[in-house]
Amino acid sequence: MSSLTQTACNKIFGGWQKIFTHDSSETKCKMTFGIYLPPQADDECKVPVIYWLSGLTCTEQNFVTKAGAQRYAAQHGIAIVAPDTSPRGCNIEGEDESYDFGSGAGFYVDATQEKWKTNYRMYSYITKELPDIVNANFPVLADKQSIMGHSMGGHGALTLFLKNPGMYQSVSAFAPICNPVQCAWGQKALAGYLGEDKEAWMDSDSCCLVKNYSGPTSDILIDQGQDDNFLSQGQLLPDNFLAACNSNNVPVILRMQEGYDHSYFFIATFIGEHIAHHAKYLK
């Protein structure tokens, strides 16, 4: 494992917002992540940690600078890790041609298609390499971690939680892509990274996964803006996830928020409630 390089450090709400880069063994390129360490975190006191997964086109900076999460993380004494959304600069033909595939759109899967499988390993990066780095270098509790995300990152948070029972104490999402096998974004990404066999896609679809989930349960919290244009376009499909959860008695709270769209204004409004939700399970 290569050493970390700190590229930014800012004091905020008594803690420290830091940005690091490192050479990734999973993605075979330089990766970047942000970590907020609350004032409670020091060599004498380890704190729980929440992993945040961002959406299409985002880097780690969107959450770090727009969500306003540090205030609430400081109040609850929780660290927050925000990685990038894909490998960058891998010189793969076509990786920068569209906003919804390739750079900025790793979809939190391990690609199996020849062109992408060497670098596009975001599932293994998020579930294995990044936690190992965080646990080894920062004062966090390895057995007290939760996960949340937005849009494509909401898809990632739900699927990673469901595929790894017990790894995360809780999960929440803002406007997640709930049923990617049934929407244009998901079909493009899953076909591109995993191939045309649709049976292989189901292991990366939260609706398919939750129907067979038998691990530890905590309330899954989802906020969805009613004025989200991607909701009306059929990209998100939260009702499908609600029905799938109910079919297997998995507890879920779906809150439809009047007037809110898909932006970070929406996230900033409710991020404090999401961090409080996770704190119930992390503390």
Residues classed as catalytic = 151, 228, 262
Residue 51 CB partners (closer than 8 Å, separation 6+) = 80, 81, 82, 83, 126, 130, 131, 145, 146, 147, 148, 157, 168
Q: Say which amino acid occupies 107.
A: F
d(CA 171, CA 18) in angstroms, rounded, equals: 23
Residue 155 CB partners (closer than 8 Å, separation 6+) = 107, 108, 149, 173, 176, 177, 178, 180, 186, 206
Short-list 276, 155, 266, 176, CA closest to 222: 176
d(CA 227, CA 230) in angstroms, rounded, equals: 9
| CB-based contact 173:159 (threshold 8 Å) | no
What is the residue whose two structure tokens read 């970047």? 32
